[in-house]
Amino acid sequence: MATITFKGNPVSTLGDLPAPGAIAPNFSLTRGDLADVGLADFAGKVKILNIVPSLDTGVCAASARAFNKAAENLGGVVVLTVSRDLPFAQKRFCEAEGIKAVVPLSELRDREFGRKYGVEMTSGPLAGLLSRAVVVLNKENVVVYTQQVPEIAQEPDYAGALAAAKAAL
C-alpha cells in the first residue's frame, strides 16, 4: 500500500506499482469506440501508462496535454491515459483539447487495472478513483520506470518518464 497525499492530506492506495524489471500485469480497458483492449493490442510498442483520477480535473488534463505533445515526436511509443472516466467523456475531452497522440482508456467494464497496478485509492475524498502515476513498459511489457506521484494535485515527472521511454526504444 502506498501513502500519498491529496492537498496535503494522507490518502492510501490498494497496493504498490509493479516493480521495475517485473512483467506488467495484463489488463482489459475500454476505448472511446467501446472496444476492450489489453497489452497485446499495443504489441511491439513502448507504452507509457499515464494513470489519472479523472480527465475532468486541471492536473489530469495538463498531464494528458503534456504527454500528447511529447508523443507526437516519439515514434514507437504509445501513451495510454487510464482513468475511471466513461469512454464518452474521455473521447469528448480529447476531441475538445485536440489530443490525438494519446489513447484514452477507461475501467468501464473491468475494474482490475487499479487493483493489479496498485493505484486504486482506498481512502480520502477520491476513494475509488485511480491515483496519479506513470508506468513505462518496454516492447516486451517489462516495467522500466514507475512513479507514484506523491501529491495527487502535482503533475508527474514527464522528463523521467520520457527518458525511460526513449531508452526502451
Catalytic residues: 60
Task: Look at residue 75 and give its three-state secondary structure.
Answer: coil
Strand order in the sheet with 133-137: 36-37, 29-30, 102-106, 77-83, 46-51, 133-137, 143-148
d(CA 156, CA 82): 14
Q: All 3 cell numbers of residue 160? A: 523521467
Consecutive H or E run containing 138: none
Tell whether the torsion through CA atoms of 160, 82, 127 and 111 is positive or negative: negative
Closest CA to 61 of 30, 118, 102, 121: 102
C-beta of residue 9 within 8 angstroms of C-beta of residue 131: no
Task: Look at residue 111 and give its three-state secondary structure.
Answer: coil
